[in-house]
């Protein structure tokens, strides 16, 4: 007979669903939650949904703010598998990010090499903000990213 | 016998190769060229390589700056096919952009909806800059994008 | 032990199944439901099945007309993930739409650029109707779409 | 030694390239050409570029209008292979058509069945127009299609 | 708490499984069942397994012959999603049909155009029979299909 | 320096192109050519285009009828690679064959097993005819295939 | 309310799992089981796991030897769907078979045509053995297959 | 100006085409050639077509037997890239090998593990023969392979 | 009615989940566990999670150290299916391994052939260590692998 | 008429072919060349074949050692597109690297996180050596890699 004690663990997916459900019930925005946690909204959302691991104190704050079960702290502090689909998503809001990468990616590469030489912008030592910019012709979404330049080692 | 007059046209790919070759020979940077053309470096590179159509005057300037054949103006002012590969590129410098879209795309979507409601950031009414930010722990690549928010029509 | 309060939320898929089931039981057509909701049939079906978010009052009407649980209003007013399969569907009725896009897409692009210049027909600021046109040689399906023209920003 | 007489035939791709090149040189729009040919612009573009076969007289007119070689008539009147890529195109202007098919395809299917019963809209006995609609909030692209309804045979 | 009344509906997959299970228990062949229903065996199997919608009286007969629950009639008379996998099946018995389409498809196309002009054999106004033909060198499977020829509209 | 004698061989693709070109110039139909060769039209087209190998005498007749170079006989009598694309073709005329295989394939399998037991219809010991059937509601394409039933060996 | 009598049927997957579980518990090897059944080990394993249908008496023996439920006989004697993944498996032990087919497949084809003419080795009228061959440099796996040669019909 | 001396090298593909062309002209079978070379026919075909590297003396013999240019020896003795398509081939003669691997691969794995423990049959320390076996019910293709068993290292 | 005794077996996936859960609860590292088992950390993790089969005594130790159910020993000593996804993983930590294989794989091949001749590095008779190397410019991950060289058999 | 001056540039592919051809003619090993260049063999091969950019002095040395045209220096010092195929290669020698990444990748990830926390091994600040290790049971290929650990930024 299978041992039930092993099937009761909270999985990373359980915690993500709990966090999204609790957030909706709480009436808080991600901006609000991020302020409580003391981090940026992009990172806070990513960490709450399994795309970043949290330090112990941040995880405890998140659990308190969203009234999650205490066991969720252990899950939130793990190093997650940051799996994303190699099939480009079709939801129009997310798809446009990939379209931008597709259309302007070669221009990005040309300018990085022009300004830094051979290497890449890190996606690990990286940060990102999303803000609303007022504009009389229609407000604009602003995305800002910075990533450390990493030169290729030559050995 | 095939009619040769139809095979002598400059194709969009011909002009892209010519522009890249001429740029290398000229010793100019994309920053330099963009300044001459009076546009931003990202857009100038995109337009020179077939990811944007140019207004007549800008195309004429580019042809002059890079010493391209006069027929290139016609090609540069066409509406190009902005084809990009749905197979995510593997060159590490470009791949990282897709990794960012994959890891942080859902957070981007959550924040856009939180700040604007149901809709998207336009990839058409859109601009992007790439700059170098000095940092004592290693200089950083900065990418800034803005796109007009487009709300879904309800009808 | 897992916390049951988080697993009882209605998901977007639950509401879609409920709406389709309730619609069948009600004997109403989508035309009827759309009239009640005060919107077009295409949009009403899309919103009921998770391809559009509804304003609060429209969601309340739909819930009343289809006798759905009150909690469904919250789900219907969210910004949904409009995910569709990048594998072209095989059901013959839907497949033909993609065949049309494949066969006549390049002609569509040529005419859009001829009439408007470089840019696209928005799929966001967009509407669509499907009607029956009587014809002595066999009635015809008529599809009408309009989308705002969006010119590429040049920056 | 290979027999040259077989390699001098005009291929369908040759004629498409010739037609696009000649059209550009002529300064005519597809509207103009279609008027000369006496057919609609969508069909005329499709036929000129290999997505439809032309009747003899229409092919002769097109060859005359665009000053193509006389041998092109034979190629234009063949039944072409209407091959299109099952990889959804990435050019934003064409991609949006597929996004529309993806997001609203299930609604289209529901309404076709509601109005006609089990069957499909033909993509063969089919026509399509693309027009510009003035709108103070920004002009709109209008696409109209009609296709004969084909009921499934039951046997 | 989720509303159970919506999860008790028979799905199209439920009815397919029920029909296959009941058929096996009944000891009837598809030939037998088709004779009872008054239709051909290919269509009867397709309709019982979700690849065709049934008229009311045929569905009632099938439900009676296979002793299915009365609610199955509603499911059998719906317009089904005729989804099939774009990944060519590997079961050798079905795969051979695709191999035939692959090897002889171009010959089929050439002969259709030679005999009818530009157009297609309809897969909607279509019928198919599978029979056993005795042969001293080994009996043969015979497949006969007819489909209405649909000429391309020129507009 | 590369040895030219090896690059002058006629390839299978050369012969296919030559046969299609010569057929067009000759004004013959595939029916006519097949009659000359003394075989069926489907097989004759398949053999002329590389989907079947020809016996020596049939190849000589085909070369004579189409006025192909004598070296083509050697190519026509080889065992060809009958390669076809596992990406289902999109040309509507050929696609419909795959749609039929997709929608009715499981019914075909069920009936083969019911009539013969466990095994397959051979695609090798196989023949196929395509004919035109007059019909007051619109003429029909008729496809007839027979393939030897091959029972699975049990060992 | 759903009818439970239809969900209690043993599926083909149920029987496969039962057979693998019972085999492990029994301590028998596939060699042992095959000897009991009076067939070869490859075929016996294939039949027990759904890749071959069994004659009635063989199925009854297998059910007795493995102490499976009596209803499993009906499942074992069905004509199964011999589905296998067109994604080449990655388990190294199975992958090597595909690597062999990939590297030496063209040589196999060349030799079959040289020895037999145009046709194939049947995978239906086919048998296969796997044995251990002692070798002082390391024992070897030996695989022997024979398949009936099937010449292409010419018609 | 490009340096022509680098474009005159014989490539591996050149040598494969030369070998196939010369073999056809010579009237020799692969059996004959293999006998001359003193190796088996499968390996000889593989080596002549780029799926195995040849020792110096074998390459010299092959060049002499087929009257290839002397420079081909260098190409034949290189370590080739044994690239094969991960898209399973569709030519029926080769496809059947993959069908066998798909249908009987799991049985092969089960028997290898039963006879040897955890490990694989090597595809490197491997040999293969293809022979014709007379049979009154139709001659059979026989394929024999042996590969060294490689146990997984445990460390 | 289905036989419950067959559904209570521990599957390989069950044991993997149990091992990961028990490891977390135990507070042990993989280094600690490997030391107890007397094997290396990479192999111990692989064996605990289904990518290697364990000898009886090692499995018993692991079960004791992690306090797993006794039945897990049987599962741990089986020859597992070492299935991995042919879709390259997207988790950045694992993806980088594939990027290395992609960028430097051809260099690896060139050097193996230069040092050993035609053959491969075995992935079966193989071992791997992962260690931390201190470095003032930032600590480094060190990966060491050795695999037996296997020369291609020539036969 | 096309401008020839733009088509005479050496491309990155031209230089790779030249380097491989010149290396073969020179009789040098990659070890030899690397020693001349003063870098490691893996990096030297990667740089010569377009998977790394070279500093000016290293490029000049390589051009001298291999007697390449002087223009090759410009190409060798560019930042290349390090494109590799997301279709896992099938050449057995390279495939085994991917198999290792597939089978042991999760173990690698677990140990990196255990030893360093959340982050990755850089594939940019990275080096790799391939050596031959003598072993009485058969010599072994040894691969050593080190990459800087990059912790995820939390912001």
> Can you say whether residue E51 is alpha, beta or left, with left for phi > 0 and alpha for psi between -120 and 50 degrees?
alpha
Q: What is the pLDDT of residue J1?
A: 46
Q: How many CB pairs under 8 A join E and H?
A: 10
Task: Give the pLDDT mean for B35-55.
Answer: 98
Closest CA to H104 of G30, C58, E129, C100: G30
Residue pLDDT, tens place only, H98-131: 999 999 999 999 999 999 999 999 999 999 999 9
Rounded Cα distance, J95 and I109, in Å: 10
Q: What is the pLDDT of residue J7?
A: 60
Q: What is the pLDDT of residue I6?
A: 58
Backbone angles phi, psi at H67, to 5 degrees: 60, 50
pLDDT score of F7 more than 80: no
Alpha carbon dihedral C20, C26, C27, C31, in 10-degree steps, equals -70
Residue pLDDT, tens place only, C31-50: 999 999 999 999 999 999 99
pLDDT band at D17 (very low <50, low <70, confident <90, very high): very high
CATH code at E9-76: 1.10.260.40
The interface pTM score, or ipTM, of the predicted complex is 0.95
Rounded Cα distance, A29 and G10, in Å: 50
Residues 6+ apart with CB under 8 A from G54: F154, G47, G62, G76, G77
Residue pLDDT, tens place only, G90-123: 999 999 999 999 999 999 999 999 999 999 999 9
The answer to whether residue C84 neighbours chain A at the CB level (below 8 Å) is yes
Its sign, for the CA torsion H32, H33, H37, H42, is negative
Q: Which residues of chain A have pLDDT under 50?
A: 1
Q: What is the pLDDT of residue H40?
A: 98
Residues 6+ apart with CB under 8 A from C94: D101, D105, D106, D108, D109
pLDDT band at F1 (very low <50, low <70, confident <90, very high): very low
Q: What is the pLDDT of residue F120?
A: 98
Rounded Cα distance, B153 and B122, in Å: 14
H or E element, residue I140: strand I140-151
Answer yes or no: do F119 and G117 touch at CB < 8 A: no
**G26 catalytic, yes or no?**
no
Answer yes or no: do I124 and H79 touch at CB < 8 A: no
Residue pLDDT, tens place only, C66-77: 999 999 999 999
Q: What percent of chain H has pLDDT over 90?
A: 94
Closest CA to E132 of E5, E41, E52: E41
- Is E53 within 8 Å of C92 (Cβ atoms)? no
pLDDT band at G1 (very low <50, low <70, confident <90, very high): very low
Look up residue E108 and give its DSSP letter: H
Of H21, H22, H92, the CB nearest to F82: H92
pLDDT score of H6 more than 50: yes
CATH of I92-151, one of 3.60.21.10, 3.90.1150.10, 3.90.79.10, 3.30.1160.10: 3.30.1160.10
H or E element, residue F45: helix F41-48
A23-56 b/e (C-beta count within 10 Å ≥ 16 → b): beeeebebebbbebbebbbbbbbbbbbbbbbbee
Q: Which residues of I touch J123 (CB under 8 A)?
A: 96, 99-100, 103
Residue pLDDT, tens place only, F67-78: 999 999 999 999
Over its C-alpha atoms, chain G yields an Rg (Å, rounded) of 19
Backbone angles phi, psi at I78, to 5 degrees: -70, 160
Residue pLDDT, tens place only, D77-100: 999 999 999 899 999 999 999 999
Task: Give the pLDDT mean for E40-61.
Answer: 98
**Quick count: other Cβ atoms within 10 Å of Cβ A5?**
12
Rounded Cα distance, E103 and G121, in Å: 18
- Is F140 within 8 Å of E147 (Cβ atoms)? yes
**Quick count: other Cβ atoms within 10 Å of Cβ E28?**
16
pLDDT score of G3 more than 80: no
Q: What angle do CA C131, C142, C122 make, to 5 degrees?
A: 100
Residue with tokens 């031209």: J14
Answer yes or no: do H130 and G112 touch at CB < 8 A: yes
Chain Cα centroid distance, residue H54: 11
Which of the other chains make 3 or more beta carbon contacts under 8 angstroms with chain D? A, B, C, E, F
Look up residue G137 and give its DSSP letter: T
- Helix extents (H) in chain E: 12-26, 30-37, 41-48, 56-66, 72-76, 92-116
- Is C102 within 8 Å of F88 (Cβ atoms)? no
- Is C123 within 8 Å of B119 (Cβ atoms)? no
CATH T-level topology, domain A10-77: 434 Repressor (Amino-terminal Domain) (1.10.260)
Asked if domains B10-76 and B92-151 share a fold, the reply is no
Residue pLDDT, tens place only, J127-152: 999 999 999 999 999 999 999 999 99
Query: What secondary structure, in 3-state letters, does D106-142 show?
Result: HHHHHHHHHHHCCEEEEEEEEEEEEEEECCCCCCEEE
Backbone angles phi, psi at B26, to 5 degrees: -75, -20
pLDDT score of C114 more than 50: yes
Answer yes or no: do D55 and E124 touch at CB < 8 A: no
pLDDT band at D9 (very low <50, low <70, confident <90, very high): confident
Answer yes or no: do A18 and C9 touch at CB < 8 A: no
Answer yes or no: do H143 and G31 touch at CB < 8 A: no
Query: pLDDT tens track of chain I, all 155 residues?
Result: 455 555 678 999 999 999 999 999 999 999 999 999 999 999 999 999 999 999 999 999 999 999 999 999 999 999 999 999 989 999 999 999 999 999 999 999 999 999 999 999 999 999 999 999 999 999 999 999 999 999 999 99
- Is G91 within 8 Å of H115 (Cβ atoms)? no
Q: What is the pLDDT of residue C82?
A: 96
Query: How far is C136 from chain B, CA to nearest CA, in Å?
Result: 31
Rounded Cα distance, J149 and J155, in Å: 19
| Lookup: tokens for I13 | 């996936």
Q: Do chains A and F touch (3 or more CB pairs under 8 A)?
A: no
- Burial-class residue E35 by CB neighbours within 10 Å (0-12, 13-18, 19+): middle
Minimum Cα–Cα distance from A54: chain J residue: J154
The answer to whether residue D65 neighbours chain B at the CB level (below 8 Å) is no
Q: What is the pLDDT of residue H1?
A: 45
pLDDT score of D5 more than 90: no
Alpha carbon dihedral B42, B44, B45, B50, in 10-degree steps, equals 120
Task: Give the pLDDT mean for C53-64.
Answer: 98
Edge-first strand order for the sheet with E140-151 is E119-133, E140-151, F140-151, F119-133
> Which top CATH class is G9-77?
mainly alpha
**F96 catalytic, yes or no?**
yes
Q: Is the pTM of this model over 0.90?
A: yes
In angstroms, what CA-CA distances link D94 with E140, I99, I102? 48, 32, 33
Residue pLDDT, tens place only, B54-111: 999 999 999 999 999 999 999 999 999 999 998 999 999 999 999 999 999 999 999 9
Q: What is the pLDDT of residue F62?
A: 98
Closest CA to A95 of C85, C124, B101, C79: B101
Of I53, I113, I150, the CB nearest to H125: I150
- Residue among D87, D97, D99 with most chain A CBs within 10 A, to mutate: D99
Closest CA to J127 of I135, G5, F59: I135
Minimum Cα–Cα distance from D86: chain F residue: F90
Answer yes or no: do J100 and I145 touch at CB < 8 A: yes
Q: So where are chain H's domains?
A: 4-76, 92-151
Residue pLDDT, tens place only, E72-116: 999 999 999 999 998 999 999 999 999 999 999 999 999 999 999
pLDDT score of E2 more than 70: no
User: Residue D80: helix, strand or coil by DSSP?
Assistant: coil
Residue pLDDT, tens place only, D49-61: 999 999 999 999 9
Rounded Cα distance, G13 and G21, in Å: 12
Residue H147 CB-half CA count within 13 A: 25
Q: What is the pLDDT of residue D3?
A: 57
Q: Which residues, numbered 29 to 58 in chain I, qualify as contacts with chain A under a Cβ-Cβ cut-off of 8 Å?
A: none
Residue pLDDT, tens place only, H35-74: 999 999 999 999 999 999 999 999 999 999 999 999 999 9
Task: Give the pLDDT mean for G7-34.
Answer: 93
Q: What is the pLDDT of residue G143?
A: 98
Query: How far is A141 from chain D, CA to nearest CA, in Å?
Result: 19
Residue pLDDT, tens place only, G24-69: 999 999 999 999 999 999 999 999 999 999 999 999 999 999 999 9
Q: Which residues of chain J have pLDDT under 70?
A: 1-7
pLDDT score of C136 more than 80: yes
Among residues D11, D122, D129, D140, the one annotated as catalytic is D122
Residue pLDDT, tens place only, B113-143: 999 999 999 999 999 999 999 999 999 999 9
Q: Which architecture characterizes domain F10-76 according to CATH?
A: Orthogonal Bundle (1.10)
Rounded Cα distance, F141 and F128, in Å: 13
Residue pLDDT, tens place only, A10-30: 999 999 999 999 999 999 999
Q: Which architecture characterizes domain H4-76 according to CATH?
A: Orthogonal Bundle (1.10)
Rounded Cα distance, I104 and I107, in Å: 5
Backbone angles phi, psi at A31, to 5 degrees: -60, -45
């Amino acid at each position: 007979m299978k041992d039930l004690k092993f099937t009761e663990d909270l999985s990373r997916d359980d915690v993500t669903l709990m966090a999204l459900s609790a957030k909706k019930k709480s009436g808080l925005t991600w901006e609000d939650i991020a302020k409580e946690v003391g981090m940026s909204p992009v990172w806070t959302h990513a960490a709450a949904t399994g795309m970043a691991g949290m330090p112990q104190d941040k995880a405890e704050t998140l659990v308190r703010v969203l009234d999650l079960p205490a066991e969720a702290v252990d899950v939130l502090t793990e190093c997650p598998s940051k799996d994303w689909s190699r099939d480009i998503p079709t939801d129009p809001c997310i798809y446009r990010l990939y379209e931008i990468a597709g259309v302007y990616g070669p221009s990005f590469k040309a300018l990085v090499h022009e300004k830094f030489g051979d290497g890449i912008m890190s996606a690990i030592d990286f940060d990102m903000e999303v803000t609303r910019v007022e504009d009389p012709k229609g407000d604009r979404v602003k995305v800002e990213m910075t990533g450390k330049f990493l030169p290729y080692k030559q050995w």
